[in-house]
Chain A
Amino acid sequence: MAARPNAPLRAIGRVALLGIMVMLGSVALAPLLAAQATGTTTGTTTATAGDTTDPLGIALDAEEKGELKRAATAYRAVLAQALAPGAGDGDRVALSLLGLERVWAETGARDSVLPIVQRVLVLRPTDPTARGIQLRSLMSLGRDDEARLAFNSWRRAAGTDGAPFREYSRLLLAAGRAQAADSVLSDAARLLGAGGMLSGELAQLHVALGRWTAAAGAFRESLAGQPYLESAAMFALQRAPVPTRDSIRTVLMSEPVTLLPRRLLSSLELAWGEPRRAWAALASVRADDSTAAAWRAFGERAEFANAWPVARDVWVAVLDRRGDLEAQQHAAQAALNAGDAMAALELATRAPRVLRKGDSVAFRVRTLLPIEIAALGELGRATDAQARLDASAPYLDEMARAAMARPLVSAWLRSGDLARARAAVQGSDLAEDDETAGWLALYEGDLATARKRLVRADTKRGELVDALGLLARTRVPASPGLGLAFMALAQRDSAAASARFVALADSLGDAAPALLALASRIEAGKAKRGTDGKIPVAAKAMVLWDRIIASYKKSPEAPEALLASGRALRDAGDHPAAVTRFEMLLVDYPESALLPQARRDLERLRGQVPPYNSSQS
Chain B
Amino acid sequence: MRASRRSWWRVSVAAVALVVSSAVPSYAQNILIPMDDGQRNHLKAYGVAFLALKTGQKAEWLLNYRGGAFLLPDVPDLRRRAALDGVSAEPISDAALAAARAEIAGANMDAVVLERAPRIAIYRPVNQPPWDDAVTLALTYAGIDFTSVWDDDVMKGDLSKYDWVHLHHEDFTGQFNKLFLAYRDAPWFVAQRDRDIAMAKRFGLPDVPALKKAVADNIRGFVDRGGFLFAMCGATESLDLAIASLVVDIAGPFSDGTPPAPDADARMVWSRTLAFTGAHVEPSPYINALSDIDGHQVNVPARRQPLGTFSLFDFSAKLDPVATMLVQNHRTVIPDFYGVTTSFNRAVIKPTVTVLAAEDGAPWTKYVHGDYGKGSWTFLGGHDPEDPQHAIGSPPTDLSLRPNSPGYRLILNNVLFPAAKKKPRKT
Chain A positions near chain B (C-beta within 8 angstroms)? 144, 175-180, 182, 209-211, 241, 583, 586-587, 590, 595, 599-600, 602-603, 606-610, 613-617
Given A177-B301, A615-B396, A616-B131, decide whether A587 and B140 contact each other with a Cβ distance below 8 A.
no
A587/B84 in contact, CB under 8 A: yes
Report B385-425 residues with CB < 8 Å from chain A CB: 392-400
List of B residues within 8 angstroms of A177 by Cβ: 301
Task: Please report the C-alpha to C-alpha distance between residue A175 and residue B300 in the assembled complex, in whole angstroms.
Answer: 12
Asked whether B398 lies within 8 Å of A609 as measured between CB atoms, the reply is: yes
Contact B395 A210 (CB under 8 A): no
Contacting residues, chain A, for B9 (C-beta < 8 A): none
Please tell me if the beta carbons of B301 and A602 are within 8 angstroms of each other in the complex: no
Q: B181 at the A/B interface (Cβ < 8 Å)? A: yes
Q: Which of A176, A178, A599, A609 contacts B399 (CB 8 A)?
A: A609
B132 at interface (Cβ–Cβ under 8 A)? yes
For residue B392, which residues in chain A have a CB less than 8 angstroms away from its CB? 210, 616-617
Known: A602-B84, A608-B140, A615-B396. 4 other contacts (CB 8 A): A177-B301, A586-B84, A616-B131, A617-B392
Q: A179-B182, A595-B86 are in contact. Are A616 and B396 (CB under 8 A)?
A: yes
Identify which of A144, A180, A590, A613 contacts B83 (C-beta below 8 A): A590
Q: Within 8 Å CB of A603, what residues of B?
A: 141, 400
A610/B182 in contact, CB under 8 A = no
> Contact: B80 with A599, CB < 8 Å?
no
* CB-based contact B84/A600 at 8 Å: no
The answer to whether B398 touches A610 (Cβ under 8 A) is yes
Task: For B83, list chain A residues within 8 Å (CB).
Answer: 586-587, 590
Q: Do A178 and B182 have beta carbons less than 8 Å apart?
A: yes
**Is B186 interfacial (CB 8 A cutoff)?**
yes
Query: Are A210 and B399 neighbours in the complex by a CB distance under 8 Å?
Result: no
Tell me which residues across on chain A come within 8 A of B397, comparing CB atoms: 610
Q: Which of B143, B181, B188, B396 has the most CB of A within 10 A?
A: B396
Contacting pair A609 B141 (CB below 8 A) = yes
User: Is the CB–CB distance between A209 and B183 below 8 Å?
Assistant: yes
For window 70-91 of B, CB contacts with A under 8 Å fall at 80, 83-86
Contacts of A615 in B (CB 8 A): 393-396
Chain B residues engaging chain A, CB cutoff 8 angstroms: 80, 83-86, 129, 131-132, 140-141, 143, 181-183, 185-186, 188, 301-302, 392-400
Closest to B84 in A: A586
> Which residues on B sit within 8 Å (CB–CB) of A617?
186, 188, 392-393
Q: Closest Cβ of chain B: how far from A562's Cβ, in Å?
A: 13
A138 nearest CB across to chain B (Å): 13
Chain B contacts for A595, CB-based, 8 A: 86
Q: Can you list 7 contacts pairing A with B, beta carbon distance less than 8 Å?
A: A175-B301, A211-B186, A583-B84, A614-B395, A616-B129, A616-B394, A617-B186
Partner pick for A616 among B132, B140, B182, CB 8 A cutoff? B132
| Residues of A close to B85: CB separation below 8 A | 599
A614 touches B84 (CB 8 A): no
Q: A608 and B141: CB pair below 8 A?
A: yes
- Closest residue of chain A to B142, judged by CB? A608
Contact A607 to B140, CB < 8 A, known contacts A587-B83, A617-B188: yes
- The answer on a CB contact under 8 Å between A241 and B84 is no
A179 to B129, CA, bound (A): 28
Q: Nearest Cβ in chain A — how far from B158, in angstroms? A: 25
In the complex the two chains form, what is the Cα distance from A595 to B131 in whole Å? 25
User: Are A600 and B301 CB-contacts (below 8 A) given A614-B131, A615-B395, A616-B132?
Assistant: no
Q: Are B398 and A210 in contact (CB under 8 A)?
A: no
CA distance A586 to B83 in the complex (A): 6
* Inter-subunit contact B86/A599 (CB<8 Å): yes
Cβ A614 vs Cβ B394 within 8 A: no
**Across chains A and B, which 4 residue pairs bring their CB atoms closest together, nearest first?**
A617-B188, A610-B396, A616-B132, A210-B393
Min Cβ gap B196→A in Å is: 15
Chain B residues with CB below 8 A from A178, complex form: 182
Question: Nearest residue in A to B141 (C-beta to C-beta)?
Answer: A608
Q: Which residues of B contact A587 (CB under 8 A)?
A: 80, 83-84
Please measure, in the bound complex, the distance between the C-alpha atom of A405 and the C-alpha atom of B141, giving whole angstroms. 57
B53 → chain A, closest Cβ, in Å?
19
Chain B residue nearest to A241 in the complex (CB): B393
Find chain B residues with CB under 8 A from A209 CB: 182-183
Nearest residue (CB) in A for B132 is A616
Q: In the complex the two chains form, is A610's CB within 8 Å of B143's CB?
A: no
B residues in contact with A600, CB < 8 Å: 400
Give the distance to chain A from B103, nearest Cβ to Cβ, in Å. 29
**Cα distance A261–B395 when bound, in Å?**
27
How many angstroms from the CA of A608 to the CA of B394 in the assembled complex?
A: 18
In the complex formed, the residue of B with least CB distance to A606 is B143
Contacts of B301 in A (CB 8 A): 144, 175-177, 180
Pair A610/B395 contact, Cβ less than 8 Å: yes
A613–B394 Cα distance when bound, in Å, is 11
Inter-chain CA distance A119–B140, complex, in Å, is: 63
User: CB-CB < 8 A to B185: which residues of A?
Assistant: 211
With contacts A144-B302, A209-B183, A610-B131 taken as known, whether A616 is within 8 angstroms of B80 at the C-beta atoms is no
Docked-complex contact B393 and A616, CB < 8 angstroms:
yes
Q: How far is the CB of B47 from chain A (nearest CB, A)?
A: 10
A228 to chain B, nearest CB (A): 27
Q: Which residue of B lies closest to A600 (CB)?
A: B400
Q: Which chain A residues lie closer than 8 Å to B80 at the CB level?
A: 587
How many angstroms from the CA of A599 to the CA of B185 in the assembled complex?
A: 41
Q: Which single residue of chain B is at the shortest CB-CB distance from A590?
A: B83
**B1: min CB distance to chain A, Å:** 43
**Cα of A116 to Cα of B132 in the assembled complex, Å:** 50
Tell me the minimal C-beta distance from B184 to chain A in angstroms: 11
Q: Across the interface, which residues of A come within 8 angstroms of B394, CB to CB?
A: 615-616
- Residues of chain A within 8 A (CB-CB) of B84 are 583, 586-587, 599, 602
Distance to closest chain A CB from B15 (angstroms): 23
A586 to B393, CA, bound (A): 35
> Smallest CB–CB gap between B397 and chain A, Å?
8
Chain B residues closer than 8 Å to A176, beta-carbon distance = 301
CB distance from B74 to the nearest CB of A (A): 16
Cα–Cα, bound, A591→B86 (Å): 11
Say yes or no: A614 contacts B129, CB within 8 Å: yes
- CB nearest neighbor in B for A180: B301
Kindly state the separation between the CA atoms of A460 and B373 in the bound complex, as whole angstroms.
70
A7 to chain B, nearest CB (A): 20
A542 to B85, CA, bound (A): 26
Task: Compute how far the CA of A25 lies from the CA of B25 in the bound complex, rounded to whole angstroms.
Answer: 86
Q: Take A590-B83, A610-B395 as given contacts and tell me if A210 and B141 are in contact as well, using a CB distance cutoff of 8 Å.
A: no
Q: Which residue of B lies closest to A145 (CB)?
A: B302
Complex Cα distance A576/B350, Å? 52
Quick one: closest A residue to B85, CB to CB?
A599
Distance in angstroms between the alpha carbons of A209 and B186 in the assembled complex: 10
- Contacts known (A609-B399, A614-B396); A210 close to B140, Cβ less than 8 A: no
A251 to B19, CA, bound (A): 73
Say how far A596's CB is from chain B's closest CB, in angstroms: 8
In the complex the two chains form, what is the Cα distance from A211 to B184 in whole Å? Answer: 11
- State A469–B182 Cα separation when bound (angstroms): 59
Bound-state CA distance A614–B396 (Å) is: 7
Residues of B within 8 A of A613 (CB): 395
The chain B residue with its CB closest to the CB of A613 is: B395
Residue of B nearest to A603 (CB): B400
Interface centre among A603, A613, A614 (most CB of B within 10 A): A603
Report the bound CA distance from A19 to B132 in whole Å.
49
Distance of B385 from chain A, by nearest CB (Å): 16
Q: Which residues of A contact B398 (CB under 8 A)?
A: 609-610
Q: Chain A residues near B131 (CB, 8 Å)?
A: 610, 614, 616
Q: How far is the CB of B393 from chain A (nearest CB, A)?
A: 5
Give A580 Cβ to nearest chain B Cβ, in Å.
12
Bound-state CA distance A29–B200 (Å) is: 78
Q: How far, in whole Å, are A608 and B47 apart by their CA atoms in the complex?
A: 12
Q: Is the CB of A609 within 8 A of B400?
A: yes
Bound CA–CA A609/B143 (angstroms):
11
Q: Measured between alpha carbons, how far is A587 from B83 in the docked complex, in Å? A: 6
Q: Which residues of B contact A586 (CB under 8 A)?
A: 83-84, 86
Q: Which residues of A contact B393 (CB under 8 A)?
A: 210, 241, 615-617
Quote the shortest CB–CB distance from A169 to chain B (angstroms).
14
